Amino acid sequence: MPGSLCGDAGARPARQEPAAEAACAHRDALAALGRRDEARALFESLLGCRNRHGLLAEHVDPATRELWGNFPQTYSMVGMINSATRLSLPWDQAF
């Protein structure tokens, strides 16, 4: 996905950053399609966009990783938690 959250800015015009929640949905879709390694890599990129308190804003500039919009954004945080849950190993495989 060109210009995905915290990735390559691609050909995105200025100030058309992706919503963090939409980026989480993209990762969830990749995981559902069996592309878990790609989804995990993108998720780890999202984690790198958080502020020093571990929070996300509504939008993240993919080129600068600057947090924009409402802050902290509950939908972004819920999306991040849902993605973490989806990408986690099942209990029977984790231990």
Per-domain boundaries in the chain = 20-88
Given a cut of 60, is residue 83 above it in pLDDT? yes
Distance CA 60, CA 15 (A): 10
Distance CA 39, CA 11 (A): 22
Q: pLDDT digits over 4-63, tens only?
A: 454 444 444 444 546 676 777 888 888 888 899 998 898 888 888 888 888 888 888 878
| CB-neighbour burial class of residue 88 (10 A; exposed 0-12, middle 13-18, buried 19+) | exposed
DSSP state of 48: T
Distance CA 21, CA 90 (A): 23
pLDDT at 3: 43
